[in-house]
Structure 1
Amino acid sequence: MFEDQTKKSFIKKLLNHKIKFWLAVAAVLLILGAGGFSLYVKSALEPVDKNSQKMVNIYIPKGSSVSSIAAKLKEQHLIKNEKVFIAYVKFKNAPGFQAGNFQLSQSMDPAGMIEKLTSASHVPAFKIVIPEGRQLSEIADIIAGETNFSKQDIMNKLDDREFIETLKKKYPKLITDEVFSKNIKHPLEGYLYPATYPFYDPDTKLETIIEAMIKQTERLAEKYQSQMSDQKMTVHKTLTMASLIEEEATEKADRHKISSVFYNRLAKKMPLQTDPTVLYALGKHKHRVVYKDLEANSPYNTYKNTGLPPGPISNAGETSWEAALNPDKTEYVYFLAKKNGEVVFTKTLEEHNHAKSKYITNTQ
């Protein structure tokens, strides 16, 4: 906050005509006289309501002029007089106003607002938090919960061929024709990276929100480009493998060992037999898969089909990416999770059935 002495100096300079006046301010001076004008300006530099505790969100677009900012502050009843505010900004030779969303209060005086608006203290208009292991439909729910877009509008955009083609042109190394393969359920499934995304414009376009998540995935793809080349893995296949690891891993699981099981099965041309792919094929969320579920007629069902599913079944964090490209060297082809989250790895079906009997069947 600026001290009263600063305000007095500002008023004195106005009276001495050492800065340019707006005609409206000059008219006020003529009407009120020097003394009256001094009181007028002093009042205009006071808080609108020094006892107010209510915070008001104000969005400042990039490139906003001082006059447009003053008008917005006046519209929200945060300052008393636009022209005095503008003159005060010039008098203080304030640095450029920042773009973004700011929280201001009527209890702040113009000096405090200038300090806030010229610093990097802006706050997001909204944040979208995408956890790991989320499917596209779940991400659409999250976006819908933080914006005015409906889930259906979001899913329509995510599956829109024309929109995806524009992304392909912008990110040709990340998004390829593999996303349009015949059996793909959703082209961008797995491509929206799990992270926290702050947005400062309350009217941010849906395309911008989606693209922010795509950019994060591209960043990771660039980081692991050489490893993908060494493994002869495309980004799409890496995302697919990472999503399987993400869905199967518990907090106590060794993702590199889970990765080794999948690679060992692929090498032996064994079906991956991972339950999350069955649930994805069914479009359901269940704690347990029953034998009837395993009969799902879908290319995503890794009990009925060998090889990787057509595409990712969820998004995946970097730990799963890294595990997908750096599997441990093991002979394991089976694993199961104990009730406490620990994962048991085995080399033969006999060992696997014994572990299932010991840790799963006997605990039911």
Structure 2
Amino acid sequence: MSARTRRRRAIALAALAAALAVVAAFAVALWQPFHGGGHGRVVLTVPRGATLTDVARLLEARGVVADATLFSLRVRLAGAASAIEAGTYELRRNMSYGAAIAALRAGADTSVLRIVIPEGLSRREVARLLARRVRGDYLAASRSAPGFDPRNYGAPAGATLEGFLFPATYELRPGATAAQLVRRQLEAFRRAFASVDLAYARSKNLTPYDVLIIASMVEREARLARERPLIASVIYNRLRARMPLGIDATLRYALDNWTRPLRVSELNSPSPYNTRLRSGLPPGPIGNPGLASIRAAARPARTDFLYYVVKPGTCGEHAFSTNARDFERDVARYRAARERAGGRSPTRC
């Protein structure tokens, strides 16, 4: 055998060995023969209408599986795509693909009713979210509750529980009532609110109820966590300057309209929730804020900002300004970007 032939054979064998190594590595990554069953506890809800890709990405994002693409392939190879149903599952972190598939195939945990209530929603929105998931009328149950008096926080007589219904994930028994959920929300609120330092807010003559009102507006306005204290500072500064807050979310709350553009007649309405026309805080919270927004409302950033508007090309980031001239410049940029987008929001969410 010539030297050239031996060289070619060696190259071919090396290439084959490299290819076999790649195949072996892929097989190990796909089948995970040495992978354990995971650790810890992850409660995960698969929404209705979720595709296999959606589920795989959700599992990867929550740390349940290592790779969404490989998990999807394993599910297809197992013929289990149609077996994954919407519902709440109790899984573990860093599960093998096989273990995760088996857990999902076993079906959602029906022994526990898990209710996920996002931050900022109003009582009416939560009532719609809970349709047929709990027994009874949530809107009626959240009007008042035995043993909890909003007046203890500075609310006026007759105030509902709006603002006090703490948003979180609640585990209840199947068949739980709306009143039981409300009781759990109020207990969670008491614990969370007790951890908030109200000293700064009190120094500005604000009551705990005022802090909740501000927090509910912050929750609606802030898309980025770092902007919560900044938006709270604008509210404080405008209150001090006796300027209308100009937050349309307050009017949207009164109208129960969170999506349709506001009409001119609505923007000119004398509603006490119209903070374009009326100075001071609205009469009550416009939703139920989470702890981060409550803390921002209790201790805002120290700024001179009086205005903010969404920055074009961002996912809800705001441009803050201290004077009307800079604000109008930022508004002009936003409107120009909206025009270029054909009247659609010029954000990237």
- One fold, TM greater than 0.5? yes
1:223 aligned residue (182, 185, 195): 195
Alignment-mate amino acid for residue 125 of structure 1: V
Helix, strand or coil at the partner of 2:130: helix
Helix, strand or coil at the partner of 2:319: strand
Which residue of structure 2 lines up, in the alignment, with residue 270 of structure 1? 243
Which residue of structure 1 lines up, in the alignment, with residue 213 of structure 2? 240
Question: Do the aligned partners of 1:338 and 1:360 also contact (CA within 8 Å) in 2?
Answer: no
Helix, strand or coil at the partner of 1:335: strand
- Aligned partners of 2:305, 2:251: CA distance in 1, in Å? 22
- Aligned partners of 1:157, 1:142: CA distance in 2, in Å? 15
Which residue of structure 1 lines up, in the alignment, with residue 322 of structure 2? 347
Shift of 1:305: 1.0
Which residue of structure 2 lines up, in the alignment, with residue 363 of structure 1? 338
- 2:117 maps to 1:130: yes
Question: Do the aligned partners of 2:115 and 2:169 also contact (CA within 8 Å) in 1?
Answer: yes
- Aligned partners of 1:231, 1:204: CA distance in 2, in Å? 42
- 2:133 maps to 1:146: yes
Alignment-mate amino acid for residue 329 of structure 2: H
Helix, strand or coil at the partner of 1:180: coil
2:186 aligned residue (192, 196, 214): 214
Helix, strand or coil at the partner of 1:360: helix
- The RMSD of aligned alpha carbons is 2.5
Alignment of 1:90-169 (within 5 A): 124-149=111-136, 153-159=137-143, 163-164=144-145, 166-168=147-149
- Aligned partners of 2:203, 2:187: CA distance in 1, in Å? 23
Structure 1 residues 277 and 224 mapped into 2: Cα distance closer, same or farther (>3 Å)?
A: same
Structure 1 residues 307 and 193 mapped into 2: Cα distance closer, same or farther (>3 Å)?
A: same
Deviations 1:82-120 (A, max 9, x none): xxxxxxxxxxxxxxxxxxxxx9xxxxxxxxxxxxxxxxx
- Aligned partners of 2:296, 2:318: CA distance in 1, in Å? 16
Deviations 1:237-256 (A, max 9, x none): 11100001111111376111
Structure 1 residues 264 and 156 mapped into 2: Cα distance closer, same or farther (>3 Å)?
A: same
Alignment-mate amino acid for residue 123 of structure 2: L
Alignment-mate amino acid for residue 235 of structure 1: P
Deviations 1:275-318 (A, max 9, x none): 10111122212264453331122111111211010110011111
Percent sequence identity over aligned pairs:
30
Question: Do the aligned partners of 1:242 and 1:316 also contact (CA within 8 Å) in 2?
Answer: yes
Deviations 1:57-99 (A, max 9, x none): xxxxxxxxxxxxxxxxxxxxxxxxxxxxxxxxxxxxxxxxxxx
1:204 aligned residue (164, 168, 176): 176
- Aligned partners of 1:148, 1:205: CA distance in 2, in Å? 4
> TM-score, normalized by length of structure 2?
0.60
Unaligned runs of 5+ in 1: 1-102, 104-121
Alignment-mate amino acid for residue 140 of structure 1: A
- Aligned partners of 1:238, 1:139: CA distance in 2, in Å? 21
> TM-score, normalized by length of structure 1?
0.58
Which residue of structure 1 lines up, in the alignment, with residue 105 of structure 2? none
Question: Do the aligned partners of 2:135 and 2:176 also contact (CA within 8 Å) in 1?
Answer: no
Structure 1 residues 225 and 207 mapped into 2: Cα distance closer, same or farther (>3 Å)?
A: farther
Shift of 1:221: 1.8
- Aligned partners of 2:203, 2:188: CA distance in 1, in Å? 22
- Aligned partners of 1:294, 1:166: CA distance in 2, in Å? 38
- Aligned partners of 2:110, 2:295: CA distance in 1, in Å? 33
Unaligned runs of 5+ in 2: 1-89, 91-108, 340-349
1:180 aligned residue (120, 132, 157): 157
Deviations 1:145-191 (A, max 9, x none): 42233xxx2212222xxx435422xx8745x5x2535xx5xx11111
Alignment-mate amino acid for residue 272 of structure 1: L
Structure 1 residues 230 and 132 mapped into 2: Cα distance closer, same or farther (>3 Å)?
A: same
